[in-house]
Amino acid sequence: MFNLLPQQDQEGLLKEYRLRFAAIALCFLAVLIVLSIAALAPSLFLSYQKEAVTIENDEILKKEIALRSKDDLSGVLKISEAKALALEGSASSTPVYTLIDGLIHDKAATITITGIDAKRGAGGRYEITVKGKAQDRDALLSFAQILEREKFFPDVSVPVSNFADAANINFSMLIQAL
């Protein structure tokens, strides 16, 4: 296609086109910035309000703690003592894995343990239920006696019904552990 405009007019039209294009792009950019600010303004005001409320609550709590610590020092000491006793009690009990390891270590080759159920009972003691299979009555009785001699197991209960069979005895015993 032929262009009949002189070179100077062509350059002038090109500059004018670029200028109008830049003006429209800047207008779109300005509209985009205004819309962005309008969209973010509520969040900004809300965060300023939350900051003010948080600072106010912080000051109130600081004053309340200062007043409470002056008036209720004995209460704080009682709570601290209770926490220390609770921590001391839980630290002195034997971990359950140590008890189970003691059970497994003390069993003879004639005893097969099929299940162990450990629950924390009254006074922080564990109630351990051991289920298994014994080759004969003597093996079961000796296993119970060995467990009674352990320092961790002060009370071992083997029901009499476990001794009904002479061989291949399915047993269940209840052990109170420290």
* Span 47-105, pLDDT tens digits: 999 999 999 888 888 888 777 666 566 666 777 777 776 655 544 467 778 888 888 88
CB contact set of 42 (below 8 Å; sequence gap of 6+): none
Higher-pLDDT residue of 124, 63: 63
pTM value is: 0.47
- φ and ψ of 126, to 5 deg: -90, 140
Round to whole Å and give the CA distance between 64 and 127. 46
Computed over every residue of the chain, the mean pLDDT equals: 85
- φ and ψ of 102, to 5 deg: -65, -40
pLDDT above 90 covers a percentage of the chain that reads 38
CB contact set of 177 (below 8 Å; sequence gap of 6+): 94, 99, 118, 125, 126, 127, 128, 152, 153, 154
pLDDT above 70 covers a percentage of the chain that reads 85
Round to whole Å and give the CA distance between 124 and 176. 11
| Mean pLDDT lowest among 5-14, 46-55, 150-159 | 150-159
Question: What average pLDDT does this structure show over 6-25?
Answer: 95
